[in-house]
Structure 1
Amino acid sequence: MECFSPPGTIQGMHIDTITPADLAWQAQALCAQTGADFFFPEPGSSVREAKRICGMCEMRPACLEYALSNDERFGVWGGLSEKERLHLRRTTH
């Protein structure tokens, strides 16, 4: 689970409410094979590499749905940055 959330985030709080089947996509995601550094860059750093990896990943729709459903505020999820997900939330609600 650590490869999907940076240390110190509240991700661990959600684990009791999500069934293992809901998280099956994470094991198949390309980010699970590359590490969190690309997906949780330092503020102001480029997310280009993370988006490139996401663009090749078949799990991208499930990842984005998960991020939106769980209000993930940090990192690149489903090929979208924090700002892009916030914009998406605002335009769909």
Structure 2
Amino acid sequence: MGNVPRLPGRAEHHWLWQEEAACRELGSRLFFHHAGEPGQDRERRDAAAKEVCALCPVQRDCLRHALKVGEPFGVWGGLSERERRRLAATKAERSALTSTA
């Protein structure tokens, strides 16, 4: 058996924000596209998902999580995967500029 006292302990406090999420009971269909989803359908679905996010009390926590783990799919914290990639790239550019100055 491993050295139990050295284990980090429970980590559920990292996920408690999810209990307050507006999407908690909605399922994943609204937030994740399916293979072959036409562009206009995807745009409408993403817009509907973002409407849920806009009213969510933990939107920032959700977005922070998605950015931290590099979530590659779905609408998280009100941003699509493309929007999160753009945001991450912009932050990386700013960071690179400030570290060379």
Name the TM-score, length of structure 1 as normaliser: 0.77
Equivalent positions of 1:12-91 (< 5 A) are 19-42=11-34, 43=37, 44=39, 45-46=42-43, 47-91=46-90
Cα shift at 1:52:
0.3
Taking the aligned partners of 2:83 and 2:66, their CA distance within structure 1 comes to 12
- The runs of 5 or more residues in structure 1 that have no matched partner are 1-17
Q: Deviations over 1:1-58 (max 9, x none)?
A: xxxxxxxxxxxxxxxxx92101001111011121111111224313011000000001
Q: Identity of paired residues, percent?
A: 39
Deviations 1:34-91 (A, max 9, x none): 1111111224313011000000001000000000001100000000000000000000
| TM-score computed with the length of structure 2 as normaliser | 0.71
Q: Which amino acid aligns with 2:17?
A: W
Q: How many residues are paired up?
A: 76
**Structure 2: gaps of 5 or more residues:** 1-9, 93-101
Say which SS state the counterpart of residue 71 (structure 2) adopts. coil
What RMSD over aligned residues (CA atoms) do the two structures have, in Å? Answer: 1.4
Bigger radius of gyration: 2
